[in-house]
Structure 1
Amino acid sequence: MKIALFATCIVDAMYPEVAQATVTILRRLGHEIVFPSGQTCCGQMHINSGKFAQAEPVIAAHARAFSDTDWDVAVAPAASCVASLGHQQPMVARRMGNDALAAEAADIAGQTYELSQLLTDVLGITDAAADLGSYFPHRVTYHPSCHGMRLLRLGDRQSDLLRSVEGIDYVDLPLADACCGFGGTFSVKNPEVSSAMLADKIRTVHSTGAEVCTGGDASCLLHMGGGLSRFQRTGSFEGTPDVTAVHVRQTSSTDVGDDNVDHLTAVVGADDDDHLTPGEKGTSPAEPSRIQSGFRVGQSAVHLARILASTKEDPLRVQSEGATVSGGSLR
């Protein structure tokens, strides 16, 4: 099959290794990869800011690049960009009175898949270890992006592929369906709210004890990687205390003599007094210590394509193995 790669602008500019990993995976399956020249951006940044007139030529450039190239299906390692192709591009073109562009954009979007969609729905990949040779012997947690969940409705496609990687120690992320706070231009226009949402998300990532947090959107991972890097540098989230972190001791109520187990309970978005019994006076919680909450120093973010591309012969190394980490993102 001839597969066209839509690299997306953020991957091309910031994380080219994600595009390379995507190509590696598909070539490993025996497919031909083509790269339509002239591709740039899907226009999502313009559209989300209400700049429809500025978005129209960006949409036209995307349609021209992919219409001028011969391919069977297209793939992008970004749920948000794939969602924008189908959810936004035709709508904007119609709003601008360009019905021909709307039809062309809709046709291209209908044949463009997010990476896990392509692997599972089109290529029939269900076992990453058996079908791709994927190997990553590390503790990993996973953040599902908002667009992947709510617009593409990816469900468990990404997490199921990750779980099937040989050697992986997969741990569920608490409150996984909560937004990381990026939201494209939202994080620029509403930095305080975005930072508070990020603090919530990074606390849950830390609570898993995972070495790596992965996901299918480079934009979310960029945001979260920054949060991981910030915590590693400072040990705190200054200005974003809207999370109650409670260190509790849980004792089995059925088995007498069982050892007590320490837990970190992160009550995200809760009032500071929510965890107290009536009559107790609450105080703003102190930042939990790394020892107390089991946090690991050196956690990083990495796109799931790079984990799926990792093999025993050519493994993806983590920070503890000497890998480079920049801005909280594994390089």
Structure 2
Amino acid sequence: MPYSEMNPAMRVGLFIPCYVDQFYPDIGLATVELLEQFGCEVDYPEAQTCCGQPMANTGCRDDAAPLARRFVEIFNAYDYVVCPSGSCVAMVTHHYHDYFREHDPAYTAIQQKTFELTQFLVDVLHADKFDVRFPYRVGLHNSCHGLRELRLGSSSERMLTLENKAETLLRKVEGLTLVNLQRPDECCGFGGTFAVSEEAVSCMMGNDRIADHQQAGADVITAGDMSCLMHLDGLIRRQKKPVAVMHIAQILAGRKPGKA
């Protein structure tokens, strides 16, 4: 039975990362299209701000605290909160506890109903079909936050076999061929401010990831985190490499390579 017939009244608060809002708005639009396709009532609360991750990662906890409290205040009105970014979701679900008292009911509720997009599509909506065709060879980049905090797939350092949410969804797209990478869970090297403070190491790691996708014959590199793809795309563009990057929401919503 289609999800819309099971629960047509589900209200989803759409949380959009800062860099998506400012640089890649089409990812937000594609996310809305996907959620509405499966019967969700989507709302974008305009009062939302940054989740506070950049501040927290650089040790500015006092600056992150009011953003965390503001997030919980704004999004607790919804049945679910969905975001097309594993790193932002990991900040909310795994690190906001530093800014709330233990077992705070408002934060506990947010923890339980905040999902990364692929996680929500697979585990909550049980999405089983996408009416799109994508006749390209695709390399899947698994972000560190997605694998190692949200457990959206298996990582090589742990002896666990987990369903890869993004891979599950991509295999439902007609014409799409997933290529095999040599290091499918390796970091892209972005790491937020790491890319600034350790530029040379960051670029070397990014080039390694691009080379792995190219040796596998990928036409497109996709991921659930546009921050990773933004880093890789910068290297690709500077070196004029013949590979495109697309957020997974764009592929599932029917976009074609070249749509930023």
Normalising by structure 1, what TM-score?
A: 0.70
Match of 1:138 among 132, 136, 139: 136
SS of the aligned residue for 2:245 comes to strand
Residue number in structure 1 paired with 2:209: 201
Q: Which 10-residue stretch deviates more, 105-114 or 156-165?
A: 105-114
1:11 matches 2:26: no
Q: For 1:27-46, list aligned pairs within 5 A.
A: 27-46=36-55
Residue number in structure 2 paired with 1:301: 245
How far apart in 2 are the matches of 1:51 and 1:104?
A: 23
Residue number in structure 2 paired with 1:24: 33
Match of 2:82 among 75, 80, 97: 75
Q: For 1:282-297, list aligned pairs within 5 A.
A: 297=241
**Which structure has greater strand proportion?**
1
Match of 2:124 among 106, 122, 125: 122
Q: 1:302-328 CA deviation, whole Å, 9 max, x = no partner?
A: 100000001xxxxx232xxxx4xxxxx
Aligned AA (1:75): V
How far apart in 2 are the matches of 1:219 and 1:101?
A: 31
Percent identity between matched residues is: 41
SS of the aligned residue for 1:39 comes to coil
Q: 1:210-260 CA deviation, whole Å, 9 max, x = no partner?
A: 11100000100100111111221xxxxxxxxxxxxxxxxxxxxxxxxxxxx
**Which structure has greater helix proportion?**
2
Residue number in structure 2 paired with 1:59: 68
Aligned AA (2:84): P
How far apart in 2 are the matches of 1:196 and 1:102?
A: 42
Residue number in structure 2 paired with 1:247: none
Match of 1:230 among 205, 221, 238: 238
How far apart in 1 are the matches of 2:184 and 2:104?
A: 34
Query: How many residues are paired up?
Result: 241
How far apart in 1 are the matches of 2:196 and 2:116?
A: 26
Normalising by structure 2, what TM-score?
A: 0.88
4+ residue segments displaced more than 3 Å: 100-103
Residue number in structure 2 paired with 1:112: 114
Name the Cα RMSD after superposition: 1.6
Deviation of 1:101 after TM superposition, in Å, equals 10
SS of the aligned residue for 1:82 comes to helix
Q: Which runs of 5+ in 1 are unaligned?
A: 233-296, 311-315, 324-329
1:174 matches 2:182: yes
1:183 matches 2:191: yes
How far apart in 1 are the matches of 2:210 and 2:178?
A: 17
SS of the aligned residue for 2:89 comes to helix
How far apart in 2 are the matches of 1:225 and 1:64?
A: 35
Please say if residues 130 and 172 of structure 2, whose CA atoms lie closer than 8 Å, have aligned partners that are also in contact: no
Q: Which protein is bigger by CA-based radius of gyration?
A: 1
Please say if residues 85 and 106 of structure 1, whose CA atoms lie closer than 8 Å, have aligned partners that are also in contact: no
Deviation of 1:173 after TM superposition, in Å, equals 2.2
Provide closer, same or farther for how the CA distance between residues 117 and 201 of structure 1 changes in structure 2, counting only shifts above 3 A.
same
Please say if residues 28 and 132 of structure 1, whose CA atoms lie closer than 8 Å, have aligned partners that are also in contact: no
How far apart in 2 are the matches of 1:201 and 1:102?
A: 40
Please say if residues 45 and 184 of structure 1, whose CA atoms lie closer than 8 Å, have aligned partners that are also in contact: yes
Please say if residues 186 and 194 of structure 1, whose CA atoms lie closer than 8 Å, have aligned partners that are also in contact: yes
Please say if residues 207 and 232 of structure 2, whose CA atoms lie closer than 8 Å, have aligned partners that are also in contact: no
Q: Which runs of 5+ in 2 are unaligned?
A: 1-9, 154-163
Please say if residues 85 and 105 of structure 1, whose CA atoms lie closer than 8 Å, have aligned partners that are also in contact: no
Provide closer, same or farther for how the CA distance between residues 170 and 111 of structure 1 changes in structure 2, counting only shifts above 3 A.
same
